[in-house]
Each structure stands twice: as C-alpha cells, then as structure tokens.
Chain A
C-alpha cells in the first residue's frame, strides 16, 4: 500500500459514520431549535465569559503581592515619624514666647 492509499484509509477511519435516521433527526432538532431561538444557551457555551471573569480575578491577585512589602514602607515611614516626634519634643520644650 503506498503512502497516499494509507492516508486515504486512515482518513476514512477517522470520519464518524452515522445512520441516515440519525442525520434526519438531527436536522429536525436544528430546525426546531432555530425556530425557537429563544431557548437558554448551554451552560458551557458561557465558558468564554466565565474564563474572562476568572482571568480578571487572577490578574488582580498578583497586584496584591506588592502590598505584602508594605510593612517595610510603613516601618521606614514610622522611623521618619519618630524623628518628627523628636523635633516636636524639642519644639514643645521651647517656651511659647521664644517661638
């Protein structure tokens, strides 16, 4: 068997075979569904919307990670704040008349 014949045989195996009654019943179902058209969509057909929502959630998550470094920023600010308080102590120690 040459390569072309082998490929043809393989392709014919892959194609699904169904009875004529099956195709007729399917046509009838599609026709009636097209006539209704208002029926609810299958749940899995909403998958793109669900996937988009999930992606949005996942994209938001990494943005939270930098917030974990916040304590360092706070502690730096806190030290500055303490310095400021020291200055305030000095200021408080100065009599009002001298200000």
Chain B
C-alpha cells in the first residue's frame, strides 16, 4: 500500500485533495493507461479512459473509504470504462455508424514508444512498433474475460487483486489466466 492509500475512515484526499490527486495520477497513470490500452487496442481511447478514470476518481476521492486498495478501485473504474467503450462500439455497429470489419485500432505514435527521438534509430523504432502490434493482436484475440485477467496480470496484480477489480472469484481468475497464458505463449512464442 502506498502512502496515499489508507485503510480506515480517513480518505486519501481529505487533507489536501489537489496534492493527493497529483500523487495518485503520478503513481497509477502507467497502470491505468496500460489496462485501458490493452483492453481497447486503441491508443486514443486509452488516453480518454485514463483521463476519465482519474477525473472520476477526483470527483469521488472524498467518498473513497479505503475498503479496497486505491489501485484496485482505479482499475475497476478503468475496466468499466473499457467495457463502456466496447458497448458503445457495438451500438455504433448496430446503428451502422461504422463498419465492424473496419476496426478503428489506433497505433501509438513512434515517439511515444521509444525513450528518445525515433528518427535517430529507425530500425529499433520499427521493431518496437512491430512488437507493440503483435502483442496487441495477441491480447485482442483473447475472449473478453481472459483478456481482462491477462491485462491486469500484466500490470503485476495478484489473483486476489484481479478478483476484486473484476468482481469475480479468485479461482475463476486463475482459470482464465491459465487459458489466456497458453494462448499468449503460442501467439508470442518467437519473443519468448
């Protein structure tokens, strides 16, 4: 548990909400964005989800009672927003606003993938982009529940934390991870 996460009656934003919010964003943005990106396969949707997750947390920070860890709470918000994203996509398909075959996966910009200017190292940039594409394709090919479990597992969450974030039994999490892992190892075998 971090210093801004507290168990008990005092909420993390009680004394200095703005300061607490900045700390929360800094500490959890990688986690939230990682989950959003892998669940949607769309970098701009992941940006939106990350932003909206922290805004929702900001709005309800005073109500956070510390019954779950802050990390689990944020990831539950992000996972719900990712599910909303897919419902929205399905609705759009139903109303023929978009062609379902024409997915709107959006790759991240090369400069976001590498720590420095990718134009200096075009070969490495291309490899990073290819790896990103392959990993995302492997995750997107998983059934929704397996995908959610795998994505949270990849962010270092334990079985119990994943169960709490997704609202499922720990045994179910283990079973989903077992299946997801087998499929991912096959899809990404050349990188393992």
Give me the interface of A with B, judged by CB distance under 8 Å: 1, 6-7, 9-11, 13-23, 26-27, 29-31, 33-34, 37, 41-48, 50-51, 54
Contacts and interface: CB of A to CB of B under 8 A. Distances in A.
A27 B26 contact: yes
Contacts of B185: 6, 10
Contacts, number: 109
A19 B112 contact: yes
A10 B135 CA distance: 10
Contacts of B58: 34, 37
A8 to B, nearest CB: 10
A15 B157 CA distance: 12
Report whether over half of chain A's contact residues are helix, strand or loop; otherwise say mixed. helix
A16 B116 contact: no
B108 A43 contact: no
14 contacts: A10-B192, A13-B131, A13-B192, A14-B38, A16-B37, A19-B112, A19-B113, A23-B30, A29-B51, A30-B25, A41-B52, A42-B48, A43-B88, A44-B88
B34 A16 contact: yes
A22 B47 CA distance: 11
Given A14-B184, A30-B50, A44-B85, 14 more contacts: A6-B185, A14-B38, A14-B153, A15-B155, A16-B37, A21-B111, A22-B111, A26-B29, A26-B47, A30-B51, A30-B54, A30-B55, A34-B21, A44-B45
Interface in B6-63: 21-22, 25-26, 29-30, 33-34, 37-38, 45, 47-48, 50-52, 54-55, 58-59
Contacts of A11: 153-154, 156
B72 to A, nearest CB: 18
A21 B116 CA distance: 9
A13 B108 contact: no
A4 to B, nearest CB: 12
A15 B31 CA distance: 9
Given A16-B34, A20-B115, A22-B112, A10 B91 contact: no
